[in-house]
Every structure is written in structure tokens, then in C-alpha cells.
Amino acid sequence: MPFITVGKENSGNIDLYYEDHGSGSPVVLIHGWPLSGASWERQVPVLVKAGHRVITYDRRGFGQSSKPLSNYHYNTFADDLNQLLTKLDLRGAALAGFSMGGGEVARYLGSHGNERVNKAVFISAIPPFLLKTAENPEGVDKSVFDGIEAAILADRPAFLTKFFSDFYNVDVLRGSRISDQAVHMSWNVAVSASPQGTFDCVSAWLTDFRADLAKITIPTLVIHGDADRILPFAATAKRTHELVKGSRLVTVEGGPHGITWTHADKVNPELVNFLK
């Protein structure tokens, strides 16, 4: 199993687990919270078949990567991504970020530029700025995030059960687009993540990416479900599309947050066509 060392914590290395499949123009897939690179199960074989080299990796604290007790913020996440792209010496790569992973795409391009990257994809993504403030009235009230943090501290496994019910809109889509077993698979991945990292990432969600998005000049695709209960369409995708000049917005009708699984039949053709 390949790993890349991106730092140290006391006597141990901080290693990121990654997978590297196929050949052709590279695509780097960046997972959401609190999942891992395995969450791209329905995209990887499709993209490889379409002629791409597909790289997935686990964010620090999640999946099979190291689980340090600090530095869960987007500057560090973007630097980790930069180390991966540099180690693999990727050129002309596409970055696709799902949910929290969209923040890595934005902050990487905002801080490291597009020397190695020629396309960007935001799927159910967190930018541009999730926190409601006086000058950002479209955001979400801080009390919502305070409640999430309290629920994680009180009973993280129970919180994750409720979270994934809304992640996949199970009450609406169970049996048609999502099975109980698929939901439980996500729960299994999430509950094995770092408790500290799971908690600390909540505050990272409040990062302001508007300046990063304004710097993006490469072709950009934004895909989002209009029934997303985790990251509402109007507060995220709609505004990201408006901030990234020339971007293309694809709205998945009835799509929940987890459209990479529930609506892979809609997401995958859009990805393949955009990455041609």
C-alpha cells in the first residue's frame, strides 16, 4: 500500500494513504468528511475506463492515513495535497473535491496556483463561505456548527447515524438509490476516523474560500443536488458557480448530499464529459 509522509508528530511520521490506478490524464479525487478515498468507489473504475490515471487519497485523520491530534485546517490540507501532487509529479491534472474536499480544491488553487492543474470539479462542495455573518447573510448560523460539535462530543457514533441518514436522504431514497448496507458501510468508515480530527474539521468548515475561488481561471465544473440537506445548494454551489468565472453548474434533481453514490448515473457522465 503506498503512503506519502507529509509531516511528523513527536516520534512518528504523518503518512497519507493513496491509491494510483490506470493511465492517461491524471484525476485526483478528494473525499468528503468523515469518509475516505474509498467513497469514490462508483467513480474510480468509470474514470479509469474512460482513459484516466485516477488517484485517491485519505485526508490526514481519516481512512488509512495517520491520525495526528492537531493541524486539521485547510492550509495544512492544501499543503498535504501539494506534497502528493509533487511526489507523483503530476502535470495537467484535474482536481475533483467532494463536500469538504471541495475546500482543498479551492485552497490549493488559491495558494499553490494551477501549474500542475488544468481543471477543477466541485461536487456537493463546501465553498464559498459557509458561516453566516453580517456581510455573508447567505451562510449558516454558527449555532448549527456548535450543535454538531456538541453532538460529536456527546456520542460520536450516534451522531454519525443521524448524519448519514441526512447525507443520503434515506427517508426518501432508501430502496431506490441507497441501501441500508451502503449507509452502514459509510458509517463503518466514518467511525474509524480520528475522533479529534472528526471534531476539529467542523471549525475548518467555516473557512472563507471566496478569495481562493476568485483566483480560479481554469475550466471548472460544479455539481450539486438540489435536495442537499448537509450543504444547501443556495448557500454553496449556486454561489461558487457565480464566483468562478466561466464555470459550468449541473444541478442534480432530487439529489442528496451523497450524490456520488445515489446519483452516480448522473454524476459520472458529467465528470467523464468534462474531463475529456
pLDDT tens digits for range 253-267: 999 999 999 999 999
Provide the residue type at 252 as one letter.
Answer: V
Q: Is 87 exposed, middle or buried (0-12, 13-18, 19+ CB in 10 A)?
A: middle
Mean pLDDT of the 159-178 span: 98
Please, what is the average pLDDT of the chain? 97
Q: Which three cell numbers stand for residue 153?
A: 462530543
Task: Give the pLDDT confidence score for residue 59 in this predicted structure.
Answer: 98
SS3 string, the chain, reads CCEEEEEEECCEEEEEEEEEECCCEEEEEECCCCCCHHHHCCCHHHHHHCCEEEEEECCCCCCCCCCCCCCCCHHHHHHHHHHHHHHCCCCCEEEEEECCHHHHHHHHHHHHCCCCEEEEEEECCCCCECECECCECCCECHHHHHHHHHHHHHHHHHHHHHHHHHHCCHHHHECCCECHHHHHHHHHHHHCCCHHHHHHHHHHCCCECHHHHHCCCCCEEEEEECCCCCCCHHHCHHHHHHHCCCCEEEEECCCCCCHHHHCHHHHHHHHHHHHC
Task: Give the pLDDT confidence score for residue 232 in this predicted structure.
Answer: 95
Q: Which of 52, 224, 257, 263 is catalytic?
A: 257
At 147, the pLDDT band (50, 70, 90 cuts) reads: very high
State how beta strands 117-123 and 220-225 pair.
parallel
Provide the residue type at 272 as one letter.
Answer: V
Task: Give the pLDDT confidence score for residue 1 in this predicted structure.
Answer: 66
Is 213's pLDDT higher than 70? yes
Q: Which of 31, 228, 241, 247 is catalytic?
A: 228
Q: Which of 25, 99, 186, 194 is catalytic?
A: 99
Q: Does 228 qualify as catalytic in the annotation?
A: yes
Q: How far apart are CA 249 and CA 221, in angstroms?
A: 6
Cβ atoms of 181 and 49 within 8 Å: the answer is no
CATH of domain 3-275: 3.40.50.1820
Mean pLDDT of the 27-41 span: 98
50, 223, 270 from 248: Cα distances, Å: 21, 8, 10
Q: Does 226 qualify as catalytic in the annotation?
A: no
Q: How far apart are CA 218 and CA 119, in angstroms?
A: 6
Q: Does 20 qualify as catalytic in the annotation?
A: no
Task: Give the pLDDT confidence score for residue 37 in this predicted structure.
Answer: 98
Cβ atoms of 24 and 53 within 8 Å: the answer is yes
Helix 101-112 / helix 74-87 crossing angle, nearest 10 deg: 70
At 87, the pLDDT band (50, 70, 90 cuts) reads: very high
Mean pLDDT of the 157-181 span: 98
Model pLDDT for residues 188-207, shown as the tens digit of each residue: 999 999 999 999 999 999 99
Provide the residue type at 126 as one letter.
Answer: I
Order of strands across the sheet that contains 117-123: 3-9, 12-21, 52-57, 25-30, 93-98, 117-123, 220-225, 248-252
